[in-house]
Amino acid sequence: MSFETLIDQLTDDLAPVRPRRLWIDVGIMALIAVIELALLFVIGFANLDMHRIETQPTVGWRLASLGLISLVSGFAAIRSFDPTYSAKGSIRWLAAIIATCVVGGLFLGSFPGGVSALLARLEWTNGIGCASHIALLSTPPLVGLVLLGRRGAPTDMRRTRLLVGLAAAAWGAFSFVFSCPFNDPLFIVTWYGLGCTATVLIARYVLPRLARW
């Protein structure tokens, strides 16, 4: 096809469009997150037990860390749907935030000697349950971000999919804190980390296939 023919066709097909607005996308994602959390409370999966929050120091740490990670990565993910945005800086910041959160959390617990003692604290059966719940709860934000990504034009898919995965995973884990009875930082770092990694891997696989343009 010649350039002239193509230009004619595209001009004939022209219709007014509303430019993409960052804050609208942020609003949509915030709405998805709030609705998900509200539904978890309504169906009784999550509960706001103030006593538990006061007596278990890791609850505050989990909520603050995961809330911060999901906010920063979610905002960066949405920004990365703009073709001109470079996510390098955001990812460096996120790496620093995640490292600080993990190290900070580990200081909340004690680490008695012996590999067997540490392994016993991991409680494999409960841990796998935790990780799978987190991956499941990450689904709504993941779907929302993938749909927004399809509408946008991410040019650095490698970083975008990482940010999308992290944002969805962190929000899934944040929601799960309201129903998770475990308080051992080692357990939390291990199984929450595994659940989040699963979501990041899913995003890595799904996003390039669905949001490629």
Partner 1 sequence: MIAAQGGDAPAYRRLLAELGTWLRSYYAKRLPAAMVDDVAQEVLLTVHAKRHTYDPSKPFGPWIAAIARYRWIDRLRAMKDGLTDELEEEMAAPDTGEAAHSAYTLDALLSRLKPAQANAIRLVKIEGMSVKEAAERLGQTIALVKVNIHRGLRRLSELVQAEGHEF
In the complex with partner 1, which residue's Cβ is closer, 3 or 107? Answer: 3
Site stretch for partner 1 (CB under 8 A), options 10-18, 71-79, 116-124, 171-179: 10-18
Per-residue binding letters, 158-177, with partner 1 (x by CB under 8 A): x-------------------
In the complex with partner 1, which residue's Cβ is closer, 9 or 100? Answer: 9
Tokens of 69: 């990670």
Q: Where are the alpha helices (DSSP H) in the chain?
A: 3-12, 22-42, 50-55, 57-79, 88-106, 115-121, 124-137, 139-151, 157-177, 185-210
| 170/144 Cα distance (integer angstroms) | 14
In the complex with partner 1, which residue's Cβ is closer, 18 or 209? Answer: 18
153 binds partner 1 (CB under 8 A): yes
17 binds partner 1 (CB under 8 A): yes
42 contacts 60 by C-beta, under 8 angstroms? no
CA-wise closest residue to 207 among 142, 121, 128: 142
Residues in 56-95 that interact with partner 1 by CB under 8 A: 81-84
Cα of 98 vs its chain's centroid, Å? 12
CB of 32 to partner 1, least distance (A): 21
Residues in 19-58 that interact with partner 1 by CB under 8 A: 19-20
CA-wise closest residue to 142 among 196, 80, 88: 196
41 contacts 47 by C-beta, under 8 angstroms? yes
Among 56, 132, 155, 197, binds partner 1 (CB under 8 A): 155
Per-residue binding letters, 105-144, with partner 1 (x by CB under 8 A): ----------------------------------------
CB of 23 to partner 1, least distance (A): 12
Burial level of 136, CB count in 10 A (0-12/13-18/19+)?
middle
Q: Which residues bind partner 1 (CB under 8 A)?
A: 1, 3, 6-8, 10-11, 13-20, 81-84, 151-153, 155-156, 158, 213
